[in-house]
Amino acid sequence: MPEQESPLKRFGRFFLRCLPLLGMAGALLWLWLSGDDLSVDTVLSYTPELPLLAALFLLLLYALKSLSLTLPILLLDTVCGVLFPLPVAILVATLGTAVTLTIPYFIGRGAGPDMTEKLQQKHPRLRELREMRSRNELFLAFLIRIVGILPCDVVSLYLGNTRMPFPKYLLGGVLGFLPDVLTATVVGMKADDRSSPWFWGAIALNLLVAGGSTLFYALYRKRQSRSAEDLSSEKP
């Protein structure tokens, strides 16, 4: 006879399921009360002037982004580029990316086992990840982030719920987002000088990486499909 969950554990699972909705509601309420449009200037207007406090405030916004679709992560990366020298901007944006990846992962990990099936029903392409998972988890975590085939938070919830090892998940995810981090921080740094070769070079490099990674993913999936067909044909 299966052991019944305690009321506290059931409440914990319910709270984890509601947390993304609460985060989105909080972000929308903030925007409504402020009366501002969501933009780099809006975020800058609320950011403390002291660099350490500014970094902590931005990390808080990255955490809020992980619970809400309202805050685009590239906007926050761009703010980092406006506020800090490039090495510091990249560091803060990378830490923010790690925060954004971590929170939904552990929400998924703490949620019930039925979350995987519900996510797959809503996002059928998640089934592709299940097929690719057994080969190289670190590479998979990197590939799905750099290609961006699915919403960031959906992937995080799914990989947390299916118990991908956290170090591989986080390292692969951060590396996959690194081209976007570099592009957005450079664009933020050179926002007042759009004739700068840094500005257009960063955008061109990001487009090249995006196009190359998409092509690689398509060829990779085609190769995996062929391998699966070959294995099927070899079976008696």
pLDDT tens-digit map of 141-195: 898 888 877 888 888 989 998 889 999 999 999 999 998 999 889 888 877 766 7
Confidence of residue 19 (pLDDT cuts 50, 70, 90): low
> At a CB cut-off of 8 Å and minimum separation 6, what does 115 contact?
108, 157, 158, 161
| Chain-centroid distance, C-alpha 184 | 15
Quickly tell me which residue has 């916004």 as its tokens. Answer: 61
Distances (CA, A) of 223 to 130, 133, 209: 16, 15, 21
pTM of the model: 0.77
Q: What pLDDT digit, counting tens, does each position of 21-77 carry?
A: 555 555 545 555 555 556 788 888 888 889 999 999 999 889 888 876 667 888 899
Q: In the structure, what pLDDT confidence band is assigned to residue 1 with cuts at 50, 70 and 90? A: very low
| Distance (Å, whole) CA 162 – CA 148 | 19
Would you give the DSSP letter of residue 191? Answer: T
pLDDT band (50, 70, 90) for residue 17: low
Give helix 137-147 / helix 152-161 axis angle, nearest 10°.
160
pLDDT bracket for residue 127 (50, 70, 90): confident
Cα distances (Å, whole numbers) of residue 172 to 49, 66, 212: 33, 17, 18
Give yes or no for residue 80 having a pLDDT over 90: yes
> Residues 179-191: pLDDT tens digits?
899 988 988 887 7
pLDDT for 89 equals 95
Residue 167, token pair as written in the block? 């170090």
pLDDT of residue 2: 47
pLDDT over 90 at 93, yes or no: yes
User: What is the reported pLDDT for 107?
Assistant: 87
SS3 letters across 166-216: HHHHHHHHHHHHHHHHHHHHHHHHCCCCCCCHHHHHHHHHHHHHHHHHHHH
pLDDT recorded at residue 121: 86
Residue 93 in contact with residue 185, Cβ under 8 Å? yes
